[in-house]
Amino acid sequence: MSKFFMNERENLVNDAIEGVILTSPFRNLAKLDVDPAIRVVLRSDWEKKNVALISGGGSGHEPAHVGFVGKGMLTAAVCGEVFASPSVDAVLNAIVAVTGDAGCLLIVKNYTGDRLNFGLAAEKAKKMGYKVDVVMVSDDISLPDNKQPRGIAGTVLIHKIAGYAAEQGKSLDDVKAIAQAAIDATASIGVAMGGCTLPGDGDEPARIESGHVELGLGIHGEPGVSVLKTQNSKEIIGIMTQSLDRQLKGNAKLAVLVNNLGGVSPLEMSLLTRELSHSPLKSRITYLIGPAALVSALDMKGFSLSAIMLNEEIEQALLADVEVSGWQPLVKLEEVARHKMKKISGQVMAKPSSNKQVGSIVEIITQTLIALKSELDKLDAKVGDGDTGSTFSSGAKMISDLNKAGKLPLNSLSELFALVGDRLAVVMGGSSGVLMSIFFTAAGQKSSEGDSLAEALLFGLQQMKHYGGAEEGDRTMIDALEPALNALAQKGDLKSVAVAAQKGAEATAKMQKANAGRSSYLSSDTLRGIKDPGAAAVEHVFAQLAAKVQ
């Protein structure tokens, strides 16, 4: 089964090219209209006054190379099929379309197909009277004994530097010399956990063992040079940067491009960039480029690092503004800015005080919930995850222990509610603890403003509903708590409150649908005849209060 969004496989690249042109922020791209098999994107604002720059290759490496067409970088990009070099005719038509008297430089990644097809097109164009020259990018250092190093993500740096030179009106010979100097100053190395998914194909057979990565995996999925028995980001970055440091000998400052091969999450790319900033190479790094996908490999789970040695000319070229969608501006590597302040603790501190009646009520509530642990867990196991009793019991036990130790501010309801709210958020797990903390914290605030007990508790309920999202009728504890508190406000006696809570809890057993909590994922058949555990807890608490408080 293919894991690729597409309509018709044969039109995939053409359709994608149109999408890129449609979304170009500079509105400066056009598609060369010659033949559907010739896929060339060129600058729509090009006037053929300066040296033209053409690059390209197989598709699947986006934004390369179409994303680098525009003022200050490429004049045109020639797109082949996925991972296949464009034809000689496609390259030749691109040369003819954009080359004026100043000539044209082809920037070619060092792969056999690209070398041959771009090379033959260049020779044909010369025969037609065009001034054309070629540079081969060979920045991959992962295969040290390879006489033909591959061109990978460092190619983008060459686009940028040669593009700046061409924009300054330099001659073809000068642009080529500057591009070649940049190639000689550039090195890249990549690593991946696996290959990529080709359009229309199923999953690639896993070649790299779990927990391992392959160093030097090619941008078309070619096997790398070695397998590292680690996925530790620090270790991997350390190995890669040591290789770059050895290749780029000397003390020259560097700009380093952090390239996503397509399948690495932004979180991981940020982590890898941080590791780079703490690597053995850090003292040489002046600028970072990315992290971003610049030369990807479809959805390959991997990344590469491309470093270029800086001189005044290269640095100026890399920093120059461009009008392309794929380039990432350089960021100077500096220490992470830190804003220091003293830690603010939200913990509520209150001076203990005594009140026999309040202490008795606290004990009734907490002991009721502790005793209900098993019953509520069993009830919740039928409609949730089976932990309502344990959750309420853990919170109740902490408050009970504080009460018995004489550490509660029993003579001040506002302070008591605030302290209870603070402790429940710590002890009770999941959303229940936070909701009960909101309830008591908000009630404590209103109580401190002089509101009555009923008014304070109703305000706490209002805030619980506001943040929790549940209302009466959604099959939660609110179905028992809201009518109970309304009865407290209207009638003031605990027997009426207990009756209201009981009716509310019993109503939840008849509700066909839960609109909040884990029960919301269950069918009406599963819920039928079963009380909501939170509502049952509220029912029992008020029943005990009505029976025991005089």
pLDDT tens, position by position, 113-158: 999 999 999 999 999 999 999 999 999 999 877 788 999 999 999 9
CA atoms within 13 A on the CB side of 241: 24
- Give the count of beta carbons closer than 10 Å to the beta carbon of residue 415: 21
Encoded tokens for 500: 């209201």
What residues contact 198, with CB distance under 8 A and at least 6 apart?
Answer: 4, 82, 83, 204, 298
31 phi and psi angles, rounded to 5 deg: -100, 130
Distance CA 58, CA 431 (A): 51
121-134 burial code (b ≥16 CB/10 A, e <16): bbebbeeeebbbbb
**Residue type at 198?**
L
Per-residue CA distances from 173 to 99, 170, 186, 432, 547 (Å)? 15, 8, 20, 72, 99
The reported pLDDT for the residue numbered 202 is 65
Distance CA 414, CA 450 (A): 9
- The verdict on whether omega for the bond into residue 159 sits within 30 degrees of 0, i.e. cis, is no
Q: Provide the β-strand partners of residue 77.
A: 41, 55
Tokens 């501010």 -> residue? 409
pLDDT in tens, 260-307: 999 999 999 999 999 999 999 999 999 999 999 999 999 999 999 999
pTM of the model: 0.81
Residue 305, helix vs strand vs coil: strand
Residue 1, helix vs strand vs coil: coil
Distance CA 411, CA 356 (A): 9
DSSP state, residue 204: P
Superfamily of domain 356-548: DhaL domain (1.25.40.340)
Distance CA 70, CA 159 (A): 11
Contact by Cβ (8 Å): 541, 369? yes
The reported pLDDT for the residue numbered 519 is 44
Distance CA 303, CA 486 (A): 61
Contact by Cβ (8 Å): 279, 238? yes
The reported pLDDT for the residue numbered 518 is 45
- The yes/no answer on whether domain 9-197+212-332 falls in CATH 1.10.10.10 is no
Residue in 65, 220, 339, 540 annotated catalytic: 220
Residue 446, helix vs strand vs coil: helix
Domain positions in the chain: 9-197+212-332, 356-548
Contact by Cβ (8 Å): 305, 276? yes
For 318-385, list the strands marked E by DSSP: 331-332
Encoded tokens for 36: 């559907």
Among candidate residues 55, 222, 198, 256, the one with its CA nearest the CA of residue 149: 222
What residues contact 12, with CB distance under 8 A and at least 6 apart?
Answer: 6, 59, 82, 199
Name the helix (H) or strand (E) containing 129: none
Among candidate residues 149, 150, 197, the one with its CA nearest the CA of residue 301: 197
The string of DSSP letters for 48-78 reads S-S-EEEEEEEESSTTTTGGGBSTTSBSEEE
The string of DSSP letters for 382-396 reads HHSSS-HHHHHHHHH
For 293-365, list the strands marked E by DSSP: 302-309, 331-332
The reported pLDDT for the residue numbered 386 is 75
Contact by Cβ (8 Å): 53, 107? yes
Distance CA 136, CA 114 (A): 10
The number of helix segments (H) and strand segments (E) in the chain equals 18, 13
Among candidate residues 506, 527, 503, the one with its CA nearest the CA of residue 517: 527
Is 466 among the residues known to form the active site? no
The reported pLDDT for the residue numbered 513 is 55
The reported pLDDT for the residue numbered 520 is 44
Distance CA 18, CA 1 (A): 26
Distance CA 220, CA 200 (A): 16
436 phi and psi angles, rounded to 5 deg: -70, -35
Contact by Cβ (8 Å): 74, 163? yes
For the chain, which residues score pLDDT lower than 70? 1-2, 202-205, 345-346, 383-385, 512-529, 550
The reported pLDDT for the residue numbered 287 is 98
Distance CA 79, CA 427 (A): 60
